[in-house]
Structures are given as structure tokens and as C-alpha cells.
Amino acid sequence: MTGLSNIFNVLGIDGEAEQAPAEPQQQRVTEYRWRGARLGGRARSGSDSSGKLVHAVWTNTLVGDIDFSTAACGAHPGRTSYGFTVDGDTTTVTCPLCRRKLGLK
């Protein structure tokens, strides 16, 4: 141990770690709500594609995140899907069955 302390003295290290400034934490939405989301995944051609319909998904994830819940119409991510990409609130929902279940016109 005396070898390490000599090296620290030569290098001018006092052995105390500096504390990094605390970064602000991004607040995560903890309440569940209906969100508009697109179902995406691998198509038959092997390409990555995003769905055209925007479904209503009951989720607590942030916009832009991936969710694996089932939509109001019953649509759910399949075997080759990467899940729903959350787009925004229910005003973006275009699936007719989801809109009917939520009472949107």
C-alpha cells in the first residue's frame, strides 16, 4: 500500500473523488392514459415499416417510446413486430374501431 500512496503523492492525487454535478432527471409519466400509437415491424419484404393506422393504446409511456400493449380495437404486436410507437394523444387516432370504442367521431 505504501507504493500506491507514493504514486498518488508523485502524481498530485489526494485520493478523494470529485462529485459530478447532478443532472436533472427526466420526469416519467406514471399515470396510464389513452395514447395514439402506430404498430410497426418487419413486413413480408423484410423491410422495417410503420403502420398507416394510428391505434388507441392504454399506456404510461412517453411520446416516441415503444409499447407492447393491446390497442382498444384488439390489435397487438405480432411475432415480427417491434411494438407500438407512441405518437401522441387520442386526437391522432385514425383506426375506425378504436375511435368507436373511445367514443370519438
What DSSP string runs through 71-84? BTTS----TTEEEE
Residue 82: the pLDDT is 84
Q: How far apart are the first and last CA of the chain?
A: 75
Instruction: Say how far residue 17 (Cα) sits from the centre of its chain.
Output: 34
Q: Are 75 and 84 in contact (CB under 8 A)?
A: no
Residue 16: the pLDDT is 63
Residue 62: the pLDDT is 83
Q: At 4, list the grid cell.
A: 500506491
Domain boundaries, the chain: 31-102
Q: What does the alpha-carbon distance between residue 83 and residue 74 come to, in Å, rounded to a whole number?
A: 14
Q: Is the pTM of this model over 0.85?
A: no
Residue 101: the pLDDT is 92
Characterize the bridge pairing of strands 33-42 and 81-88.
antiparallel
Residue 27: the pLDDT is 57
Residue 99: the pLDDT is 92
pLDDT in tens, 14-73: 666 666 677 666 555 568 889 999 888 775 555 556 667 889 999 888 888 888 989 999
Q: At 16, list the grid cell.
A: 478523494
Q: Scanning the structure block, which residue is given the C-alpha cell 432527471?
A: 25
Residue 10: the pLDDT is 73
